[in-house]
Amino acid sequence: MATIAARQAASTLARLSSSRTSAQATSLIQRRGLAGAADHHGPPKVNWWEDPMSPSKWKEEHFVIVSLSGWGLLFFGGYKMFTGGKVKEEKLVEAAQ
């Protein structure tokens, strides 16, 4: 199975390299048209600790982490409040003398 795929790939490569000129071969090279990493839209994002009062300026991953942490604390606090925060009672046993 692998040998058949290897033969087909080799024959396709041979046909492409022999039948096309270098000008046509350059048209096969992929362009990174939609990868605009350096093309910023809007203000630059900052770390949440640099500007803690403006969530709209935070980096997306920092916003997610802070939001999930806040919701977790809210649910845990509510759970502790409604369950009364059960505390174990330890009894001291006096040694018999």
Model confidence over 23-81: pLDDT tens digits? 565 666 766 666 555 556 778 888 988 988 988 898 999 999 999 999 999 999 999 99
Q: Quick one: pLDDT at residue 28?
A: 67
| Bridge partners (DSSP) listed for residue 46 | 58
Q: Which residue has the higher pLDDT, 12 or 84?
A: 84
DSSP secondary structure code for residue 46 in this structure: B
Distance CA 85, CA 77 (A): 10
Residues 6 or more apart in contact with residue 57 via CB below 8 angstroms: 43, 45, 46, 51
Q: Please, which residues have CB within 8 angstroms of residue 47's CB and are 6 or more apart in sequence?
A: 58, 59, 62
User: Taking 60 as the threshold, does the pLDDT of residue 88 lie above it?
Assistant: yes
